[in-house]
Structure 1
Amino acid sequence: MQDEYSFYNMKELEKLIPKKCAGVSPMLVKDLIQQMIDEDGLICVEKCGNINVYWCFKNQIIQKVYDSCERLKGQIEAKEKETIQIRENLRSTCNGDRKEVFMSGDGKTKLSRQELLKANREIEEKIKTLQSEYNRLSQTRWDKKKIDEKKQALNDNVRKLEVITDNIDIIIDYFRAKYGVEPKSIRQELEIPEDFPHIEI
């Protein structure tokens, strides 16, 4: 679908995706699409009249990942330069008396050794965080494995719901057998529907 450069509404996606991705139920498409919009921004959506229009172009995804990588790369380089400067200032004191307060190499700025050490540690931690984020984005792509994992998670939730609905029916039947309470009365009192909607997996 990324190579087709087409726009779709939700009804079209609910028909198309199960055909393109074997095992994906039409009932799961809406949640799957929303997760891909919210988590990674891989699918774009715009309001067009009274419907939402969805699209996902490969070049947009590549550009988004590239821009994020370049931004993080720039931040890493800036922090590394700042670290080099701080280390240079610290190194200039290591050969002397290691005073707590000293002047910079150009003699224009008063520096605190403890503050510089603290700033150095903070910058190193920031670099580690940025590098980790950069590495993650460099490898980010929405492939079949990730889609299968999302589908499996949704299927697991559907199965849990089915277990809950089965348990509700069992409890209602128990009260009917033990206390002679009509199931309809229990459902009305607790606002439980007569039939739960069936979700195809």
Structure 2
Amino acid sequence: MPGLTIGDTVPNLEVETTQGKFKLHDFIGNEWLILFSHPGDFTPVCTTELGKMAQSAEEFHKRGAKLLGLSCDDVESHNKWIKDIEAFTPGCKVNYPIIADPKREIIKHLNMVDPDEKDSSGNQLPSRALHIVGPDKVVKLSFLYPATTGRNIDEVVRVMDSLQKAAKHKVATPVNWKPGDHVVISPSVSNDQAKQMFPDHTTVDLPSKKDYLRFTHV
């Protein structure tokens, strides 16, 4: 897959935002980052999404994650748009920075270019993309949606929990997992290791007689 994707280090770009200029690595520091792009300011789906992100900011903060938006409009436009976002989503405050990229350069470095959508002047627009970046500055997960489909921010919170649990323990999360559910033990963990690390785990008896489906709580 061309462009920035899972396993790649985020380039240490200097960006101009609604909260000043900074380099991406300095902004991330030792925390996680939710980096999300939008086709444009003053557009309907984006306005609903940024409001929901603002509402969910405390949930991400609890998980040691920062938020950083991106749109190709300039900072002045972003600041005006923020007033609409906060008006549409009562009680929310957009306290996270939004990157300005009027020259359409940053979206290329971050693999956030929509292959089809263009503005009235024929310029490329950002896709509705989202990267979750770890404290090591490496992309851990990416979502890509068409301009017509708004993201499910609750799902972003859920996958943050999954990624952090997998990073802390040698486990993975099965289908439809949510916090509190069983997890599966990573195939890299031998049965002897599993007995030591997860003494209460259970193994599913399968027709293949292979003991790879091992459930536990962590």
Which one has the bigger strand percentage? 2
Q: Which entry has the higher C-alpha Rg, 1 or 2?
A: 1
- What's the TM-score once normalised by structure 1's chain length? 0.25
Which one has the bigger helix percentage? 1
